[in-house]
């Protein structure tokens, strides 16, 4: 049984979540990579702000307590909706081939 029976609703959900979720995911990715590069060249003191951003502390807006959970929830929802869309399309194409 599909998570969403109406593929249009599922596509709408996926298209709404994807642009919103790409920003925190990319920020987490790049700040993590760049901070590890700073560790490699022994410049961690100069780039501690990257670690703060990586954890969700954006100065005035401190989301460090919930940022990982927001990131994980958004990615989980995108994965579920994407897999469900793929599954529905894959199932329809198999049905057409059988007929």
Going by pLDDT thresholds of 50, 70 and 90, the confidence category of residue 1 is: very low
Do the domain assignments include residue 39? yes
Bridge-partner residues for 35, per DSSP? none
Going by pLDDT thresholds of 50, 70 and 90, the confidence category of residue 16 is: confident
Alpha helices in the chain (DSSP H): 7-40, 48-55, 67-98
Q: Is the pLDDT of residue 33 over 80?
A: yes
- Reported as a single tens digit per residue, the pLDDT across 59-92 is 899 899 999 998 898 888 888 888 888 887 776 6
Rounded to a whole number of angstroms, the CA Rg of the chain reads 19
Do the domain assignments include residue 47? yes
Q: Is the pLDDT of residue 99 over 60?
A: no
Residue 82: partners with Cβ closer than 8 Å, 6 or more residues away? 14
Q: What is the pTM of this model?
A: 0.68
Do the domain assignments include residue 49? yes
Enclosing domain of residue 49: 8-92
| Total number of domains constituting the chain | 1
Dist CA 15 CA 28 (whole Å):
21
């Amino acid at each position: 049984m599909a998570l969403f029976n109406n593929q249009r609703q599922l596509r709408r959900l996926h298209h709404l979540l994807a642009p919103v979720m790409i920003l925190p995911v990319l920020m987490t990715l790049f700040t993590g990579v760049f901070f590890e590069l700073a560790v490699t060249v022994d410049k961690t003191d100069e780039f501690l702000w990257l670690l703060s951003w990586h954890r969700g502390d954006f100065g005035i807006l401190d989301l460090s307590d919930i940022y990982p959970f927001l990131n994980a929830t958004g990615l989980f929802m995108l994965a579920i909706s994407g897999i469900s869309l793929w599954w529905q399309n894959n199932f329809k194409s198999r049905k057409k081939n059988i007929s």
